[in-house]
Amino acid sequence: MEVALFVPCYVDQFYPRVGLATAEVLERFGVKVHFPEAQTCCGQPMTNSGFFDDARPLARKMLEVFADFEHVVCPSGSCTSMVRNHFQTLLPGEPRVDSLRARTFELCEFLHDVLKVAPKGRFPHKVGLHNSCHGLRELRLGSGSERLVAPFNKVRALLENLEGIELVQLSRDDDCCGFGGTFAVAEEAVSCAMGRDRIADHQRAGAEIITGADVSCLMHMEGLLRREKKPMRLMHVAEVLAEATA
């Protein structure tokens, strides 16, 4: 199977290790990974701020860059949701949109639903799982705490298989960390207050590591942690899986 990596712009620039871990995990399951170098950004920051006109050229660029791949895999629920849930409103009537939407997957859902694999390995740590909102509620990576449906969580399911891992019990399973794209800057006070509350929940639960399927949430919480010089570590799910299965 061949897969094109869709690496979010800020991951490419600030968190290359997450991109590499994503590729490693996929390769471990026999996938041939490509990285189309013309890619930049899916346009989410502009869309999130309401500047749909500024986002449109980026959405079109995405359609071109990933036109020829069977599967497109992204280590971010939020950026995947941008393609899957917002490209059609951004580019109404554009015939290539539906195809890209159907071919684009967030990493965990790709492993869980398409490859249907259960990563095996050791990760002897106490881990707090941050359920990022867009992955959870826009991609339905998990059932979420609001709806009354049979409980499931694809990210958790991948981690649970690892030997030695202890997924700590949070008091609020899926409260938002307050990143929210441009919200993090425009509503800085609320954003940081929300982030600190999430961190405190993980801390109380005894997590050494906070993991999640979206680097943006982790970047926000890491920023708070580093400023306050707290020892907790943040790792993307891809990094956890890559390390555990190495």
Partner 1 sequence: MTEHAENAAAFVANGERLQWHDKAVWFMRNKRDVARAAVPEWEALRALASQIKAHTISRLAGYLEQFEKNALAAGAQVHWARDAEEHNQIVHGLLEKHEVTRLVKSKSMLTEECHLNPYLEARGIEVVDTDLGERIVQFRKEPPSHIVMPAIHLKKEEIGVLFHEKLGTPEGLADPKALTEAARQHLREKFLAAQAGLTGVNFAIASTGGIVVCTNEGNADLGTSLSPLHIACMGVEKLVPGPQELAVFLRLLARSATGQPITTYTSHFHGPRPGTELHIVIVDHGRSKMLAREEYRSSLKCIRCGACMNTCPVYRHSGGHSYGVTVPGPIGSVLAPHIDPKKHASLPFASSLCGSCTDVCPVKIDLHHQLLAWRGELAAKGLVPLGKRVVSRVGGWVLARTWAYRFFGKLTRLFAPLLPSALLGPWGRQRDLPKMPRESFRAQWRKRAGPR
Q: Which residues pair with 233 in a beta bridge?
A: 209
For the chain, how big is the Rg over CA atoms in Å?
17
* Under rule CB under 8 A, residue 182 binds partner 1: yes
Q: Which of residues 94-123 bind partner 1 (CB under 8 A)?
A: none
Considering CB under 8 A, how many residues would be counted as binding partner 1? 78
Are 162 and 112 contacting, i.e. CB atoms less than 8 angstroms apart? no
Q: Which of residues 5-44 bind partner 1 (CB under 8 A)?
A: 7, 9, 11-20, 23, 27, 32-35, 37-41, 43
9 versus 161: smaller Cβ distance to partner 1: 9
Span near partner 1 by CB under 8 A; candidates 91-99, 117-125, 156-164, 194-202: 194-202
* Under rule CB under 8 A, residue 172 binds partner 1: yes
Residues in the chain: 246
Report helix angle 16-28 to 237-244, nearest 10: 50
Q: List the one residue from 124, 188, 204, 206 that touches partner 1 (CB under 8 A).
A: 188
* Under rule CB under 8 A, residue 64 binds partner 1: no
Q: List the one residue from 106, 138, 201, 239 that touches partner 1 (CB under 8 A).
A: 138
61 versus 101: smaller Cβ distance to partner 1: 61
Q: What are phi and psi of 74, to 5 degrees?
A: -130, 135
Q: List all residues 6 or more positions away from 58 whose beta carbon is below 8 Å from its beta carbon.
A: 40, 41, 42, 43, 46
Q: Which of residues 68-87 bind partner 1 (CB under 8 A)?
A: none
143 versus 161: smaller Cβ distance to partner 1: 143
Return d(Cα 24, Cα 215) in angstroms, integer.
Answer: 17
* Under rule CB under 8 A, residue 187 binds partner 1: yes
Q: Which residues pair with 126 in a beta bridge?
A: 166
104 versus 216: smaller Cβ distance to partner 1: 216
**Count of H-run helices and E-run strands, the chain:** 14, 8
